[in-house]
Structure 1
């Protein structure tokens, strides 16, 4: 294509910032809910929305836009948006388009700052959790902020070891003469 107008460039940047900070989409991409190509799907999603606005201009139908957001999130990332975030995203997109067509880029800057705060907070929490800035791929093994990860962290931090000492091997089950396992409460055994 030919050279893009600064308003078009600013609009696309704003959409990128908005989509990078949209919680549902961010979780889907970080968790690879759309598969290993989740980042590429997000980028395609951004292009689709920019193209939609290029085609429809100021005649964008809000409900149609919300339906596109819902459908892509469902089809590409298997997410059912129950938080109504598509309504907020659609309103911001419309406002962003309107401002950019008038050569005003304040919202783009606000979205950029919000996106940087979110990505900075995520990077900060990852480096705190890992203890250093090792390879980002190593944090994938920890799970994606699931409940199991917290339990693992507690064990690593020594919560269970302070009361029980080193981990014990799981004892062999006690089977009675009829072939049934005898259940022993954990709190009573020492």
Structure 2
């Protein structure tokens, strides 16, 4: 059994409590993983769920943490996927890129690692987030400089800034990796926003 399967394997009964020092770190890890979920962040930034979209995303962090730490039953990844799915539906977003399953898997693995006192994934996520923040600052600085140039130069500069090599080829620490495969969003006739990928729809796991 590989590390993924080992961490995701459900045991009978509620999960053991997290060690005291792991609680805050686990909550931070949840927030870091969800902050890297492109479909969720797109829904929040564009307010697809209305003005309360940010609050819905924040509530998801709390709900996931509570599910792991307060559940009285066996933890099954399918139940976690349902929590993620329901939140995206409340944001009027249907994900078809497989990211729900991948985010759930990352969260299950993170929980298993924290139970063992292993925080390397959180360290890696922190470092990756810091790198992304630094790139964002550089992009903003470049855009500010472009404001003083001609409209034509401005358009060319923005095009170059918006697609840097470091973004088009994310590091292995990015969570979740399937987020990089999101290719397009389309407004469905019924008002829902569909996040899809070239791989097409991915059916729900049994």
TM-score (norm 2): 0.58
Which of these residues, 119, 123, 126, is aligned with residue 105 of structure 1?
Answer: 119
RCO comparison, higher one (Cα < 8 Å, 6+):
2
Which of these residues, 107, 122, 125, is aligned with residue 136 of structure 2?
Answer: 122
Q: Secondary structure at the match of 1:80?
A: strand
Select between 30-39 and 99-108 the one with higher mean Cα deviation: 30-39
Give the deviation of 1:41 after TM superposition: 1.9
Distance 1:120 1:39, change over 3 A: farther
Aligned pairs for 1:1-190 within 5 A = 5-56=20-71, 59-75=74-90, 77-131=91-145, 156-157=151-152
Deviation readout 1:64-83 (Å, 9 max, x if unpaired): 111211111111x2111111
Distance 1:80 1:123, change over 3 A: farther
Distance 1:156 1:21, change over 3 A: same
Q: CA separation in 2, counterparts of 1:79 and 1:89?
A: 16
Distance 1:156 1:10, change over 3 A: same
Select between 56-65 and 91-100 the one with higher mean Cα deviation: 56-65
2:56–2:87 CA contact under 8 A, matched in 1: no
Give the deviation of 1:11 after TM superposition: 0.4
Distance 1:158 1:102, change over 3 A: closer
Distance 1:119 1:38, change over 3 A: farther
* Unaligned 5+ runs, structure 1: 133-154, 161-190
Give the deviation of 1:158 after TM superposition: 5.8
* Unaligned 5+ runs, structure 2: 1-18, 156-206
1:21–1:114 CA contact under 8 A, matched in 2: no
Structure whose CA Rg is larger: 1
Distance 1:61 1:84, change over 3 A: same
Select between 49-58 and 79-88 the one with higher mean Cα deviation: 49-58
TM-score (norm 1): 0.62
CA-atom RMSD in angstroms: 2.7
